[in-house]
Structure 1
Amino acid sequence: MLLAFLLTLLAGGATSIGAAIAVLGPGTGPRFLAGGLGLSAGVMLYVSFVELLPEGAAMLSGGETTPHGTAIAVGCFFLGIAVIMLLDRLVPDAVSPHEFSGRIDGAHDARDAEERAADTALRARLLRTGTVTAIALALHNVPEGFATFVAALQSPEIAIPVVAAIALHNIPEGLAVAVPVRRATGSRKTAFWLATMTGLAEPVGAVVGFALLAPLLSGAAMGGVLAAVAGVMVFVSLDELLPAAEETGEHHAAIYSLVAGMALMAATLLVL
């Protein structure tokens, strides 16, 4: 059991690699920001439509996908979107903007009031984006960690390639959280630790799932959760990540990175 937990911790801990790339690189530049946000959107869109939604439909169908199970999965998908849309409407656009009014790249003092106001609004939006992304990815990582843990308990030989693949696709997930949070707060430490916490949802999910929720996190219930999480991640990508990437003015960097994120996730899922 200890080995299974350590393997799950290793897979979740790979999120810190993506977070480190975000905080050690030139993370406040517009091209880097656009690339990081686009990459994150590509990862989340691809995994939602290609992995989570089909897997949810299969679970809701009891094995081989059926029209009935697919219909329920689609309903859960849009339910997830509806929930995150409601939460999005309840959160004010300006989230304590005075907290994010520090200097970035030493340029704050040279800008006029309108530019400073626009930057403050962007910081607030990016902080909300990073936080919502962290929550969505943490929810996604809980069942992922439980699955990794169970596989490791059954056969460590089977679990090792699974852990490797999950660790690979956790790296861009770390970027997905750390890039907007670093840009919003100007704090490398905050960005790194918030992203790391999303990865640690995997070993937490393993322990909690094994101890308490094993009967619930299986079959139809798990399928509905996966489909709903797919909806949340798609909404976050389209409503937050891509618009924020476009606002940097680096359109091509955003789109090329989105395609790269999809390709990266496709490669890791093929290995998985």
Structure 2
Amino acid sequence: MLIAFLLTLVAGGATSIGAALGVMGRGTSPKLLAGGLGLSAGVMLFVSFVELLPEGAHVLSGGGEVTGHGTALAVLSFFVGIALIAVLDRLVPSSVSPHEFSGRMSGDEGVLRAPDEQAADRALRARLMRTGTVTAIALALHNVPEGFATFVAALQAPEVAIPVVAAIALHNIPEGLAVAVPVRRATGSRAKAFWLATMTGLAEPVGAVLGFVLLAPLLSGAGMGAILAGVAGVMVFVSLDELLPAAEETGEHHTVIYSLIAGMAVMALTLLVL
């Protein structure tokens, strides 16, 4: 259990990497970003459909041969997981989504406003501060189920935990950027921007703890089967709604596809070896 929590902490802590990039005012290579997000999506999609969903059906079938009833319950749980993460995802305003990368590649975060535009600059800073704050709050809520999903995956299938953690971690880097960049420009404080962005990532281990405390009685038997299938739904939604659209927005379509396939291959090889 401790290892599962530490892995969740590592995944959430990756937000600090994006925060550091944001406060340093450095852009992110579109090709590198596309490759990382595509790889993450491949890992998460493969582990969801090949490992978590089938395992959920197996557990819901009583631990023996998979039955139609167990499969039906797993599929229902899968879509319930999608529905839950979709509702939480609506809390993130599309205008400040961390998966909208337009205008973030130029590395011009440090450009100063001209002296005769000081009034406009103050208004801009106020808007940016609101944007950064709203984004931080929304992402913190959004990261809670991701943290629980990572935690459950690590508890149930340690052999797939590390690739899943790596995928979630890569997914969290742009979230750190999304919070740190506007807050840094609004306040001029690297420290405030860094720590506010980092705190959004720490919602993931908090989500793991809350989920475990609230759902501990269900973490065995049929309850665990339903949770595994639901976690698969969460991961599929995150991959299709966030990772792949964000990766495509970089303009590196072929890099995204090749990385997606590579992520699936890495996950398949990991499962075969372990």
Normalised by the length of structure 1, the TM-score is 0.67
Partner of 1:182: 177
How many Å separate the matches in 2 of 1:132 and 1:38? 24
* Residues 56-92 of structure 1: per-residue CA shift (max 9 Å, x gap): 1111111121111101111121222233333444543
What is the percentage of aligned positions where both structures have the same residue? 49
Partner of 1:83: 84
* Residues 161-216 of structure 1: per-residue CA shift (max 9 Å, x gap): x4x752354223211112343255336665556446536766x489x46xx85542
Partner of residue 269 from structure 1, selected from 247, 252, 271 = 271
Structure 1 counterpart of 2:226, one-letter code = G
**How many matched pairs?**
237
How many Å separate the matches in 2 of 1:74 and 1:29? 38
The answer to whether structure 1 residue 139 and structure 2 residue 148 are counterparts is: yes
Distance 1:28 1:127, change over 3 A: farther
Contact 1:145 1:201 in 2 (8 A): no
Contact 1:40 1:176 in 2 (8 A): yes
Contact 2:19 2:180 in 1 (8 A): no
Distance 1:231 1:245, change over 3 A: same
Runs (5+) with no aligned partner, structure 2: 113-127, 182-192
Partner of residue 105 from structure 1, selected from 96, 104, 107 = 107
* Residues 124-148 of structure 1: per-residue CA shift (max 9 Å, x gap): 9x97996677334312123235447
Partner of 2:228: 226
Partner of 1:166: 161
The answer to whether structure 1 residue 52 and structure 2 residue 52 are counterparts is: yes
The answer to whether structure 1 residue 198 and structure 2 residue 201 are counterparts is: no
Normalised by the length of structure 2, the TM-score is 0.66
Partner of 1:116: none
Structure 2 counterpart of 1:94, one-letter code = S
Contact 2:42 2:261 in 1 (8 A): yes
Contact 2:13 2:169 in 1 (8 A): yes
Partner of 1:248: 250
Distance 1:44 1:195, change over 3 A: farther
Runs (5+) with no aligned partner, structure 1: 111-119, 149-161
Out of 51-60 and 10-19, give the one that drifted further: 10-19
The answer to whether structure 1 residue 93 and structure 2 residue 88 are counterparts is: no
